[in-house]
Amino acid sequence: MEGLRLALFFILASSCFSSLYAAEDAVEVFVKGVTSIAKTDDNFICATLDWWPSEKCDYNQCPWEKAGILNLDLNNKILANAIKAFDPLRIRIGGSLQDQVVYQVGDAIKKFPHFKKQGDGLFGFSRGSLPMDRWDQLNALFSQANAKITFGLNALLGKRKSDNSTLWVGDWNSNNARDFMKYTASKGYKIDSYELGNELCASGVSARLEADQYAKDIVQLKEILKDLYPDRQTQPKLLGPAGFFESEWFKTFLEVSGPQVVDGVTHHIYNLGAGVDKTLINKVQDPYFLDEIAETFKDLENVIKEFGPWAGPWVGESGGAYNSGGKDVSHTFVNGFWYLDQLGMTATFNHKVYCRQALIGGNYGLLNTTSFIPNPDYYGALLWHRLMGKTVLGTSHFGSPYLRTYTHCSKQKPGITMLIINMSNSTSFDVSVINDVNKYPHSYKMTVNGPNKREEYHLTPKDGNIQSDVVLLNGTPLQLTSSQDIPPLNPKIVDSSSPIRVAPDSIVYVTIRDFKAPACA
């Protein structure tokens, strides 16, 4: 009898222990399909290419190797295939050193320097230059791989340092930029947009400009665009100010530059702190910490509504952790909790584009810096690009804050696609999607469990290790094909009558074709 009691005790203890570490929660997620809450650009996903030379080092590491614009292997087949898979991928060319780059064309510049380590230079480097044969090679890749290009221009030419150590004054000398843009247009290279300067707004980073002077400079750039591209249909868009948001600076910039000058208001986000931060892995899994940045997205959206309604907000650069990202976190599966959550969050605040730092380079590249093999966030971004349309729907639930949900109308297909992020390492969720089809609260709501099938894409880390560089799709590792192509991303087909099972430490895209959302009509 005593043995039976002991056996029962251990069975009960085991059950309690199991439920503690493998808890299951049923959650209803409400989707308001009657009206949209925001719209993104058709090509919301964007990645950057940066100017950093191999000598860019932080925290006793040099993670850029040959991934900069001037030394990247443009003939690498994986690179071309990774870009081509998006069809198209939006790429922003720019970064910290762009305001020290001159262009080897025309006669406005007499000497063409090369980037070298220099203690008193901006960001510790001398000025550098872009040869036109390298620009030709870059455009050959962009054309082959069907990329949409944003090019960041040097905004400091012609300016001088004031007595203040970071403030630069004087008018922008646009001659070299004009020669470069004229060459680009004459070659027929397709530029989607030009951006002026990098992180010069508000308090700046290594240099700064006053808002009214920057506005004056960007108006000058607009006139150059009108002259070089008189056909409004083919005229590249104009973006700025490409730095960290500060309300009064941005208001002044938009007021002084005036209507119909900038098409996109770009700001940068590095809300995770320094790449060397030992708490980085905790931050990317903390929903309360991740929510703190939402106020910035909302404030910029409101400033644009009031002072620049002709423009849309863009995240022009975001790597999460600055100074090249965290070497044990930013390229691994767990970083997707921060990255994909920010994609969902910024879309709800009407941001049109989100540019990830970087396509390749540093610790935060979507591609491995040396092998070019895609990191987990590459596949998360590719699935977003293929599945999530530009119309954003209100989505909410009353469950755990570690369960994050975002919904868009599906891309080029009927129904909706939902992004579900489970940051909990111990709880799985059974998600039922509720179609809130009425405009008014407390009205009839319909559970989506019809006879049709739904498509599910479950992303999980290899061996359950959230710091793995290998991601599984529906249990199968995503690996390049024998011809170095991006593998097919096929869904799991599931009966719509069952809840969506979301495992701990997982990311799920779900497409529901029979979801009746008038906003998606």
Q: Catalytic residue numbers?
A: 199, 317
Task: State both tokens at 88.
Answer: 């198209």
Q: Are 169 and 162 in contact (CB under 8 A)?
A: yes
Other beta carbons within 10 Å of 234: 10
Are the CB atoms for 18 and 421 separated by under 8 Å?
A: no
According to DSSP, residue 124 is labeled G
Compute the radius of gyration of the chain from its Cα atoms: 24
Please check whether residue 8 is in contact with residue 412, taking contact to mean a CB–CB distance below 8 angstroms.
Answer: no
Tell me whether the omega of the peptide bond preceding residue 88 falls within 30 degrees of 0, making it cis. Answer: yes
Task: Determine the Cα–Cα distance for residues 164 and 23; give it in Å rounded to an integer.
Answer: 58
How far is the C-alpha of 291 from the C-alpha of 345, rounded, in Å?
9
Dihedral angle, C-alpha 109, 114, 118, 123, nearest 10 °: 80
Angle, vertex CA 83, rays to CA 461 and CA 71, nearest 5: 100
Spatial separation of the C-alpha atoms in residues 483 and 462, rounded to whole Å: 23
Q: At which residue do the structure tokens 């510790």 appear?
A: 124
**CA–CA distance, 454 with 492 (Å, rounded to integer):** 8
**DSSP class of residue 125?**
B
**CA end-to-end span of the chain, whole Å?**
68
- Residue type for 165, please? S
Beta-carbon contacts of residue 295 (< 8 Å; ≥ 6 apart): none
C-beta separation of 355 from 314 below 8 A: yes
Kindly give the residue spans of alpha helices, DSSP state H, lying in 88-239: 132-145, 175-186, 211-228
Rounded Cα distance between 463 and 478, Å, is 13
**The two three-digit tokens of residue 270, written as one number:** 């590095």
The closest of 421, 417, 381 to 399, measured between CA atoms, is 421
Tokens of 149: 């290009």
- What stretches of 429-512 show up as alpha helix (H) in DSSP? none
> How many CB atoms are located within 10 Å of the residue 380 CB?
26
Q: What does the alpha-carbon distance between residue 249 and residue 428 come to, in Å, rounded to a whole number?
A: 45
The Cα–Cα gap between 40 and 24 comes to 34
Give the ranges where 229-284 is alpha helix by DSSP (H).
247-257, 280-283
Nearest alpha-carbon partner for 352 in 391, 319, 399: 391
